[in-house]
Chain A
Amino acid sequence: MSESILDPHLRFDTFVVGAANRLAASAARAVVDAPGTAYNPLFVFGGAGLGKTHLLTAIAHAMAERHPDMPTRYITLDDFADELDAAIRGSQADAFKRRYQDIGVLLLDDVQGLSGRREMQSEILRVFNVLQGAGRQIVMGSDRAPADIRDVDQRLLNRLSGGLTVDIGPPDQEARTELLRRFASTRRITFGGGVLEQLARSPLGNVRELQGALNQLVAHQAVAGALLAPNEVWQVLGTAQLPQRADEFESFLQDVVTSVAASVEAWRTHLTARIAWWSGQGFRTAVLERALELPEAPDVEELDSSFAAVADRLRTLEGVAIRVDRSLTGHAAFRDPERLREAETLLAHAVAAAEPLPPPDNRWQLTDLVRTAGNRAAIQAVADLVEQHGEVGTPLFVHGKSGAGKTHVAHAAARVLLGDEDSGKRVAIVSGAAWLDELLVAMHAGQLERWRARYRLADALVVDGFQAFDRQTRAHDELLALGQIYSDAGRPVLLTSDRPLGAYVGISAGLRAWIEGGRVVHLVAPSVNERTGRQTPVPDGDEAAAPNIDIRGVRDATPPDGVRVTRLTPPGGIALGVAGLDAEKMILEWPEAPGRLMEEMR
């Protein structure tokens, strides 16, 4: 991050975009989207008070948010010169060089000061060579174009103008009005209709002068104790600030300004200004434009803040997405609040490609489960789920005591849902405890969006061990949000739990309601007799139950080298059960004594 103390208000969202600075603002955003690749170097020039430093500082803030791992440094040329002098005097030239070698984005302001300073020019050229050679980004601000900076080494001049050179002109009237509105709003000052428009028409060329004139109006209004009228603006400011063509047409125009300001509906005007603002930020504003056509005034503030919330989210998604996949930079979905779902999906695809989900455990098959009178309904419900019969998209909640076969059911169901390798399907199967751990890590690392995206796109969601969620309020919201995405898309969700839903005291009402809206089944652990097959005959037509084989733990598992195993269960045969022990938890294959000894020795 930059070492200088940067004005926290100079951000992209406080930069008023108009015709005169739109290109510069877009280029600055592009630099943040893809540092070192879009425009390198970016050279922004324009007169004093037109927003160069604002843009450079905005880049620094945005870099800190979106690329915290990429060191960004904002420095004026004079400060750079001071550092260089100090380094040379202190014989620390090497340390100085190293400091700049590690920078990801260098923001160098007031570059016009290079004129005639040969030693500094050669040092800057060296720094530029190092940074650009390493694909780092350089952004410069200057009050004149590179070609107009006199007495500069030709090689450096070529370097300055070798990327994109873009100028910022004086703001047009619309941008000036918006600027003034912002100043007034920041200071919580109210002006009468038409006053700011009138002031915006003053010949004052730069933003600071406009701000000064506004301050005069504020002071006058405070003393007078009444709102200024548009035609009083020039009286307060004096004739020097009158528009230069104060002739008949200007006078007519002033009248029109007053009439329009008094006549157009305030909410539409406000909404219009917000639309212009969001458009300037690069967002598609169709949803706000539709609101303009409403016959009655909507809550514009509410509308605007909802839009802002979605826009913020889109920015976050884009930030995460381009870190995963650079080609997503500037994708239109990240600029359209009506395409939020699409943006989430884009991110999810990108993350899914970069971080594939772990597959279910192959060892467990649905057909291996002993079907008994106590678990048949539950197994059938799982079978329905995986074959997507009945109500798709509603969660299936399977509860049963430890050893009832829940993990078996979860992995076996996930395996079926996954299909064969060519199916292209993805199943998110995770234990409740692991899910919570991942969530915590993601929250601490500021990687929540990326974590969410990883789970968002699978074709089915299986959470084994829902009990881990008890009293984990934050996790409830995440699970519910994710679950509802699956529900809405008609994708299967399976939750297993060691206790019935009613036994939970610490789960949120929303999560409970969502689960209750689905199907809840009880998986009863088979008795020893049932496990060993000595049970009542399988009803006719229940082919799935036909194998009637006990859980054999590891199928086709290869023992470690040097370890011979003794199978308690003959392959394909009937397992031996031990009364009171859960079949799934039972160790069915023991290493023989020499093997055990080798294990001990290890």
Chain B
Amino acid sequence: MPIVNYAARELTCKIVYYGTGRSGKTTNLHYIYDRVPANRRGSMVSLATQNERTLFFDFLPLDLGTISGFATRIQLYTVPGQIFYRSTRKLVLQGADGVVFVADSQRRQREENVESLRDMHEVLAEQGVDVRGLPLVLQYNKQDLPRELIETPRELDDTLNFRGVPSFPADALAGVGVFETLRKISQLVLQRLSAAPPAAMPVR
């Protein structure tokens, strides 16, 4: 649940980009980082290996200024996609207010996408999160690749989007679909504010 601290007039949301290794999660964050005015963003923390694979996680805090009297912040995280970093993924997912599942649209990545999505559901279930209530958006990245190499958004929907959540075709390197995805997940996350039970109001 997004943290709404009425007393401190702060609103903080945590959004996690999840997906297979090399699906483009960090690319999403870099694109966003480049387009956010410097006074609105914190420094992006990225722990990468020498060949630029995310080792731990990326973290990009966005300061959206005062909205309706609240200092509004959105924190964007990515998880390391490689299968052996499961415990890190679990940590990063903890307390997520919304998840963007970034799927690699290449046909040969189909099984990995399915596996990663199942892994996400398992991790969430282990944390006691009801995935049906958690805002989720799918992003089908690398749609710029030759048609013969990729699945169409419709095909990807058939494979991955069994819950019928919003999905966006994307080319994260060029920025296509990056902000559309972020807008939708933010909207879904913020809509939950009005449904927040009083008990969720954190004490200062």
Interface set of A (CB-CB < 8 Å, partner B): 172-174, 177, 193-194, 197, 201, 245, 247-249, 251-253, 255-257, 259-265, 268-269, 271-273, 275-276, 289, 292-296
A273 with B35: CB separation less than 8 A: no
Known: A249-B35, A249-B37. A272 touches B70 (CB 8 A): yes
Interface locus among B4-12, B94-102, B118-126: B4-12
- Nearest CB in chain A: distance from B44 CB, A: 15
Is B204 interfacial (CB 8 A cutoff)? Answer: yes
Q: Which residue of B lies closest to A257 (CB)?
A: B67
Task: Give the dominant DSSP class at B's interface.
Answer: mixed
Which 3 A/B pairs are nearest by Cβ-Cβ distance? A295-B198, A263-B193, A259-B190
- What 10 new A-B contacts, CB under 8 Å, besides A249-B37, A265-B194, A269-B69? A173-B65, A197-B68, A249-B35, A249-B36, A256-B64, A257-B67, A263-B194, A271-B6, A275-B7, A276-B69
The number of inter-chain residue pairs (CB within 8 angstroms) is 99
- Nearest CB in chain B: distance from A269 CB, A: 5
Is B186 interfacial (CB 8 A cutoff)? Answer: yes
What is the total number of residues of chain B having a CB less than 8 Å from a CB of chain A? 36
Is B182 interfacial (CB 8 A cutoff)? Answer: yes
In whole angstroms, what is the CA distance A248 to B177 when docked?
A: 11
24 A-B pairs with C-beta separation under 8 A = A174-B69, A248-B35, A249-B37, A251-B179, A252-B179, A252-B183, A253-B65, A255-B183, A255-B187, A256-B64, A256-B74, A256-B183, A260-B11, A260-B193, A261-B68, A264-B11, A269-B69, A272-B6, A272-B9, A272-B69, A272-B70, A292-B6, A292-B201, A293-B201
Q: Which residue of A lies closest to B194 (CB)?
A: A263
A260 with B194: CB separation less than 8 A: no
In whole angstroms, what is the CA distance A265 to B201 when docked?
A: 12
Is B75 interfacial (CB 8 A cutoff)? Answer: no
A177 with B66: CB separation less than 8 A: yes
B40 with A249: CB separation less than 8 A: yes
- Nearest CB in chain A: distance from B98 CB, A: 12
In whole angstroms, what is the CA distance A295 to B187 when docked?
A: 24
Residues from chain B with a CB closer than 8 A to the CB of A259 are 186-187, 190-191
Residues from chain B with a CB closer than 8 A to the CB of A264 are 4, 11, 68, 70, 193-194
B186 with A269: CB separation less than 8 A: no
Is B82 interfacial (CB 8 A cutoff)? Answer: no
B198 with A260: CB separation less than 8 A: no
B69 with A177: CB separation less than 8 A: yes
A248 with B175: CB separation less than 8 A: yes
Is B72 interfacial (CB 8 A cutoff)? Answer: yes
Residues from chain B with a CB closer than 8 A to the CB of A261 are 67-68
A276 with B190: CB separation less than 8 A: no
Give per-residue flags for B161-204: 1 if the beta carbon is below 8 A from chain A beta carbons, else 0: 00000000000000100110011001100111110001101011
- Nearest CB in chain A: distance from B202 CB, A: 9
Known: A259-B190, A259-B191, A263-B191. A293 touches B7 (CB 8 A): yes
A262 with B198: CB separation less than 8 A: no
Residues from chain A with a CB closer than 8 A to the CB of B190 are 256, 259-260, 263
